[in-house]
Amino acid sequence: IAVVFILAALFSMLTLLPSATSSSGGVPVGAAAPEFTLPTYGGGGSGMIDLHALRGHPVLLNFWSESCPPCRVEMPFLERTYRQYAAHGEFTLLGIDQADPKEDIAPFGKDFQITYPLLFDPGGKVNAAYGVTAIPTTYFIDSDGIVRAVFVTQLSPRTMRQGLASVGIGIP
């Protein structure tokens, strides 16, 4: 019975740890990030965001939804990280909404005081291209457009440091 308990505990631990690689169906680490152009509906900026135009700078893609409790908890952490590092040109942070009405994105961004662009994915094509099956999911893409880390979990300071390090950015 002790063996069953140990195996159950090990299985639980492995399934609950944050994933630093893509889940099945996602874009694998080392592959080119699928390109897209999406409209900004909240947060900072306006107009269309073209991922290809951001080449030369690391990019973090955070897939989220306003109905996702871990996403709501993660948003203030992402905003603090953005203000401290990305707002000075270290990297670009983009929030890609998953399935919320586009009219809800701007009020959500205001409520959470988000200053990085919150993008609307009409029809979920970008979510599908990235194989997003759980949220929050964050892709760390290097300046050459290659996926270097994926976390299918709410980011923590540790996972943020790991992801940023994978694209060549060191933070304390």
**pLDDT, tens digit, for every residue of 90-140?**
899 999 998 899 999 999 999 999 999 999 999 999 999 999 999 999 999
Q: Please give the full DSSP string across 93-157, using - where no structure is assigned.
A: EEEEE-S--HHHHHHHHHHTT--S-EE--GGGHHHHHTT--SSSEEEEE-TTSBEEEEE-S---H
In terms of Cβ atoms closer than 10 Å to its own Cβ (0-12, 13-18, 19+), residue 69 is: exposed
Give this prediction's pTM.
Answer: 0.85
Q: 48, 29, 14, 37: which is closest to 131 by C-alpha?
A: 29
C-alpha Rg value of the chain to the nearest Å: 16
Cα–Cα distance, 121 to 37 (Å, whole number):
9
Mean confidence (pLDDT) of the chain: 87
pLDDT score, position 50:
97
